[in-house]
Amino acid sequence: MGGVAMIEISGLCKNFVLHNQGGAVIPVMRDAVLSVAPGECVALVGASGAGKSTLMRMIYGNYLAESGVIRVGDLDVAQAAPREVIALRRETLGYVSQFLRVVPRVPTLDVVAEPLLSLGVARPDALDRARDLLGRLNIPERLWTLSPTTFSGGEQQRVNIARGFAHAYPALLLDEPTASLDAANREVVLTLIEEAKARGAAILGIFHDEAARDRVCDRVVDVTRFTPGLAA
C-alpha cells in the first residue's frame, strides 16, 4: 500500500484505574502499533478481552489514551481537544458499533440521514441517500417512518450500518458489521465495505465471521501482542 497511512498508531498504552475499588489499576494495552492506508481494510483479531474493542474505542476518542499517538488524518486523537474529535467524527471518521443508540421516536429515515444533515447536506439529498441505503439493506419501506428502537436486533444492526455508510468517511471503524445478519444482508454489507475500499476509505474492523474477514480484509493484526501480561 503506497502513500501516507490514514490511521497511524504508535506506542499506545492504556490503563483503567478503578477509584472506587481500592484504586485498582488494570493495564489493558501496551505499546500498540498499527497503520491503515487509504483503500485498505485491516482486521483486528485476538481472544475476547484481548483489547480489540478497547483499541477501536481509543481511536474513536471514546476511551482516553494514557500515552502514545493515534493519528487519524491530520489529528492526533490522543492529544486532541473534544471539539477537534467532534469535527473528526463528523467529517472524517465513521464508526459502526454493535448497538444502535438513538433518540426514541425519531424515524429511521432521519436516523440514517442524520450524519449527512449534520454535515450540512440538503435535507432532500440526505433523505435520498438514506432511502437508497435502507432499500439496499432490505429494511421494508413501511418501517422507514418508524423509530428503530422497536426493531428486531438484525434490523437495528442494518439501520446502524446504513447510518455508518451514509457519509463517505475517509476512515471507518467497524465492530462486527456482519454479526446477526442473514446471508443476503451479509452480502450487501460486504459489498458496501468493498465499495468504501474502492473509493479509498481506510477501514479497521473486528470480524468474528472469518469468511467475511478473508474476503474484505487485506491484513490481520493480532492485538494479543499489545495485551499486557499476554505478550511473549
Residue 86 or 220 having the CB closest to other proteins: 86
Q: Which residues bind other proteins (CB under 8 A)?
A: 16-20, 57, 61-64, 82-83, 85-86, 101-106, 117-118
Considering the complex, what minimum distance in angstroms separates the CB of residue 17 from other proteins?
A: 8
Cα dihedral sign for 176, 16, 60, 89? Answer: positive
For the bound state, the minimum distance from the C-beta of residue 62 to other proteins, rounded and expressed in Å, comes to 5
CA–chain centroid gap for 5, Å, is 17
When the beta carbons of 72 and 196 are compared against other proteins, the nearer one is 72
Question: Which grid coordinates are listed for 103?
Answer: 433518540
- The minimum distance between CB 93 and other proteins, in angstroms, equals 13
Taking a C-beta distance cutoff of 8 angstroms, is the pair 109, 130 a contact?
yes
For residue 128, the SS3 value is: helix
**Whole-number minimum distance, CB 7 to other proteins, in Å?**
18
Decide whether 41 or 77 has the Cβ nearer to other proteins.
77
Choice between 123 and 199, CB closer to other proteins: 123
Give the other-Cβ count within 10 Å of 195's Cβ. 12
Q: Of 74 and 182, which has the nearer Cβ to other proteins?
A: 74
Give me the least distance between CB of 32 and other proteins, in Å please.
Answer: 16
Q: How many residues in total does the chain contain? A: 232
Q: Report the side by side order of strands in the sheet with 93-96.
A: 93-96, 171-175, 202-206, 41-45, 219-222
